[in-house]
Structure 1
Amino acid sequence: MSANTLSPPQSSRSDHWEWQYLDLMRRIWEGGDERTDRTGVGTRSLFGALIRFDLSGGAMPLLTTKRVYWKTASRELLWFLSGETNIRPLCAQGVEIWTDWPLDRYRRATGDELTRAEFSQRIVSDAQFAERWGDLGPVYGKQWVDWPVYEPVTEISGETLYRLRRRGINQVAQLVESLKSNPGSRRHIIEGWNVAELDAMALPPCHKTYQFHVADGRLSGMLYQRSCDLGLGFAFNMWSLALLTRMLAQQCNLEPGEVVWTGADVHLYLNHAQLVEEQLMRVPAGEPKLAFERRPGSIFEYRIEDLMVSEYAPQSHIPAPVAV
C-alpha cells in the first residue's frame, strides 16, 4: 500500500495534538526497522520519540481517531496507586487488560484451556484460585508504593545479614510531599524499574519512569517509556500520564501544565496492519476535557466516580490482537 493511501487529504490537517501520534505511526509503519520480538509476532520499530500535550483548561490527551476506553485506563491507574498486584480487583470491575499474562501462565502450567471469561470469573469468585494464579508479581503498584527496603540486622563471620522491612518506600507519598515542600526540586520522580525484582514480574515495567516539574504554579509531567505498543498501549499510557499529573496538581494546589511522553523502542506489531491503515485514514477532531467531581483527602483516595469527561466524541473502536 502506498504512502498516499495511508494519509488523509492534506487540507484536513490542523494543529490538533493527535497529528503528532498519527505522524509517528506513519513513520514507523512505512519506514520502521522490522524486527523479531519477545512475542514472536514481529514489529516495525523506531528508537526515540516525543509527544507533548498542554493540559490547560481541563484538556486531556484522548485519541479521537478511535475510541479509547478511558475508564478502563483510569481504573488501571487507581489499581497501581493501591499497590495491588493481583488482577482480582480489576476483573471484578470488568477490566481484562492484565488477564492474558496470568491466563497464559495458568494454561502452560495446567494444560487447562479455560477461556479468558471463564478464567476471570473464577479469579473473582474463588479467592484461593486468585491468590494462586492471579498475582503478577511485584509490578507497577508494588514498586510505586512499597519499594522494598532491606535493613542490616546482625553480622556473622564478617558478613552482614539483612531482613526485608515490613513496609517499603512509598514513592508516591514522598512525591506529593516533595512537590508541596520543595517544588523546585529536580528529584520529583516515580521509578518502576527495580532491577532486583524484574525476573519476578509478569511483565517488566514499560512505562518505567515519571518525573514532574513545577514552574509558575504549574505542574508538568514527563514519562519515559522503554517499550511502547503504539497501536494499543500508547493511548492508555498517555491518558494515565495526564491523569496522574492532574491528580497530583489538584492535591498540591497547582495548575496543570504540560505532559511530555518519551518513548524508546516505539513499535507497531505486524498483525496490526488493519488498525494502522484504518486509523491513518482518519482525521482528529474535538478537544476532550476532564473535571474532578471532588477533591479527595489524598492521592490514594480517588475513585472512578470522581472523574468526569466531557466533549469526547471519538470515531469508532478499531480492534486489534494483544501480543503476550
Structure 2
Amino acid sequence: MRHPEYQYLDIMEQILERGDERMDRTGVGTRSIFGAQMRFDLSTGQVPILTTKRVYWKTAIKEMLWFLTGGTNIQPLLKDNVRIWSDWPLAAYRRATGDAIAQDAFEARIVEDDEFAREWGELGPVYGKQWRRWLGADGKEYDQIAQLIDTLKTNPSSRRMLFHAWNVPEIGSMALPPCHMVYQFHVTTSGKLSMLCFQRSCDWLLGAPFNCVGAAALLLMVAQQAGYEPGDFIWFGGDVHLYLNHLEVAQVQLAREPRPWPTMKLVRRPDTIDDYRIEDFLVEDYHPHDAIKADVAV
C-alpha cells in the first residue's frame, strides 16, 4: 500500500507543476490550486504527522487545546511557548505605534504585562470564540462543541453534527478570518467516529502539517468524550497554495521519502472536553527528516 503521506506530497507537486501564480493579500504572492482532498484512517492509531519534515506536534496540539478554551488572546499561548499567532498582533502594534519592536521583546512584554497583553495580544473573535461562544442574533452565546458532543451521545445518526467559525458579522474584527472553517462528524454503525474538515485557504508548507495534527488530536478527544473509536479524518481544501518564497524548500521536501507514521493515543480520559492537557497525548515512533524553515506570510 502506498504511504498515506504521498497524498500531501502529490498535492504539493500539483501546486508546483500547474498552480496558478498570482499576487495575494500578503504581498508575497502564491502558486495555488483550487480544490484538494486527503483521507487518513486513524483507527490503527497512526496519525498524519508528516515525516518528510519535522512537525512540532506538541505546538499544534497546544494550539488546538487553546481553541477549545474559547480564548482569543495570545498570552496563554506564549506562556506555553507557542509563538505561531504572534505575527498578526505584532504587525498591528507596529502599524499603530510606529515602534519597530523586535518579536522577542514584544512577546516577552505580552507574557509579563497583563495590561499590555489585553490591549495588544487580542486577536478578535477568532476560532475559540466562535466554537465555544458564538453570539446569536438573540443575544445568547452558543457552545458549538458542547452541542456537538451532546448530539453524538444522543442522536449519532444526525447529519447536523458540525461546528464552524465563519461568523459573517464578526469577520472584520478578526486578526485573521478562519481558514479551517467547518468540521463535520459521522458515526458508523460499528461505532467509529469520522471527521471532515473544510479549509477555505491553506498554506501548504507551513499551515497544512499543523492543521492535520490539530485535527487528529481533536478527533481523538471528541471520540473519547462521546464514547466512540476514531475512524477517518477527511480534509478538503479550497485555495491550496505555496507562497512564492516557499517554492525552493518545497522542492527539498518533495524529494524526501516518507517514513513510517507515528502513533498517537490519549493516556487518560478527562471528565470533559475542557480538561485535556498536552501531557494527555502520547506520540510514539516519530522519526522524521530534518525540519524545514520558512517565513510566515502575514
- For Structure 1 versus Structure 2, the TM-score category normalised by the shorter chain is over 0.9
Structure 1 residue runs of 5 or longer lacking an equivalent are: 1-13, 152-163
Residue number in structure 1 paired with 2:179: 206
For these two proteins, the number of residue pairs brought into alignment is 297
The offset of 1:56, in angstroms, is 1.4
Any idea what SS the aligned residue of 2:182 has?
strand
Name the structure 1 match of 2:135: 148
User: Match of 1:300, SS?
Assistant: helix
Native 8 Å contact 2:23 2:30 kept in 1: yes
After TM superposition, the structure 1 = structure 2 runs for residues 186-265 of structure 1, keeping only pairs within 5 Å, are 186-215=159-188, 216-265=190-239
Q: CA deviation at 1:175?
A: 0.3
Identity %: 56
Kindly indicate whether the alpha-carbon contact (under 8 Å) linking 2:265 and 2:281 is maintained by their aligned counterparts in 1. Answer: yes
Partner of 1:196, secondary structure, is helix
Distance 2:275 2:179 in 1: 25
Q: Distance in 1 between matches of 2:169 and 2:115?
A: 28
Distance across 2 between alignment mates of 1:270 and 1:102: 24
Shift of 1:226: 0.2
1:49 correspondence with 2:22: no
Equivalent residue number for residue 17 of structure 2: 30
- State the secondary structure of the residue aligned to 2:275: coil
State the shift of 1:300 in Å: 1.1
Hey, what's the Cα distance between the residues in 1 that align with 2:242 and 2:85? 19
Match of 1:95 in 2: 82
Task: Give the drift of 1:275.
Answer: 1.6
Does the 8 Å contact 2:32/2:242 carry over to 1?
yes
- CA offsets per residue over residues 17-60 of structure 1, 9 Å max, x none? 00011011011011100011010100000000000000012111
1:62 aligned to 2:53?
Answer: no
Q: How does 1:282-321 map to 2 (within 5 A)?
A: 282-321=256-295
The alpha-carbon deviation at position 287 of structure 1 amounts to 2.0
Distance of 2:9 and 2:64 partners within structure 1: 25
Q: Which moved more, 1:313-322 or 1:285-294?
A: 285-294
Question: What SS is found at the alignment partner of 2:242?
Answer: strand
Between structure 1 and structure 2, the one with the greater Rg is 1
What is the Cα deviation at residue 204 of structure 1? 0.3
Q: 1:17 maps to which residue?
A: 4
**Runs of 4+ residues over 4 Å off in structure 1:** none
Within 2, Cα distance between the matches of 1:284 and 1:32? Answer: 23
What's the counterpart of residue 103 of structure 2?
Answer: 116
Q: Unaligned 5+ residue runs, structure 2?
A: none
- CA positional deviation for 1:190: 0.9
Structure 2 CA distance for aligned equivalents of residues 45 and 292 of structure 1: 36
User: Following the alignment from structure 2 to structure 1, what is the Cα–Cα distance between the partners of residues 137 and 217?
Assistant: 32
Q: Distance between the aligned counterparts of 2:249 and 2:135, measured in 1?
A: 40
Q: What is the rounded CA distance, in whole Å, between the counterparts of 1:142 and 1:291 in structure 2? A: 27
Deviation track 1:132-151 (CA, whole Å, cap 9, x = no partner) reads: 00000000000000000243
